[in-house]
Structure 1
Amino acid sequence: MNQKYKARIQKRLRAKIVIAVIGGLAVIGTYIIKLLNTTVDFASIDAYITGFFFGIEGVCVMNIIQLRKLLKDENALEEMVIYEEDERNQSIKLKSYSSTISFMIWLLSFGSIISSFFNQVIFFTLASVLVVLLVVSSLYRWFYTRN
């Protein structure tokens, strides 16, 4: 059982490394495009993209460090197995996720109605996010009730 969990942790580690590399390449690519093409004005989105990807990089690096420490320490690995596979913790996560999805749907609905009075672009953005959230949550609900 520990070997299966170790393999799962190694998959997570590889995924985090790939995400960190892609994020770093995106930041580097943005600056290369900016240097090569002086007519394009990235001033409005440059700081946003950089901050967004540095945030992703920071989270990924912290997760990579945590996962590597976990793979080196058998006791910590065993504690993590117990924590992640505990039925009580899974029940708490399930209840909190369903409450969060319901709250997000309500919040996006309210926000899209209010934003429709002020800005059409924001309205369509919030409405699109709401539709995607409804479709994804409906598909998950359909999948899990079917099984």
Structure 2
Amino acid sequence: MRMARWRAFTAGIDAADLLQEAILRALTSRSFPCGLKTEHFLMGVMRSIASAIIAKRERDEALCRDQFNLPVLPLAPDEACEFAERADAWRQALGDLTAGSQEIEKVIDGIDQGLCGRALAEFADTDQARLASVRKSIKRRATRACAKLNRLEEAA
């Protein structure tokens, strides 16, 4: 399964699907060499499937670049709608995280810049005791936002 996960990662597909397809092809193949371990044959079949998927994706991207002068494939309408909905959900979750608090926004911005401890407190114009409570508040709000986003993912 480890090799299936690696090949699936390189091809951008699900590992279980890749392994299932490889097993199906191996069982229906007439070219299974004698003396070769089944695992090695399956790894070769998975590599072949992944390579075919990657090659097709590169051909399609090149075709789109030539025709439309775009670097990637255009999204299907339902994928574009789903992408927009997810972006809205994440934007709203970030808005809920800050909840209009300038202090929380400054702390998040400072963390993003790699600050911690006293430097973060100075950046957020607060003392370290208040910084600790703000960080706890951010953690609680982030937990709620993640739970909400996970529920949305499960509903989709």
* TM-score (normalizing by structure 2): 0.27
Instruction: Identify the structure with bigger relative contact order (alpha carbons < 8 Å, sequence gap 6+).
Output: 1
Q: Which structure carries more helix by proportion?
A: 1
Larger radius of gyration: 2
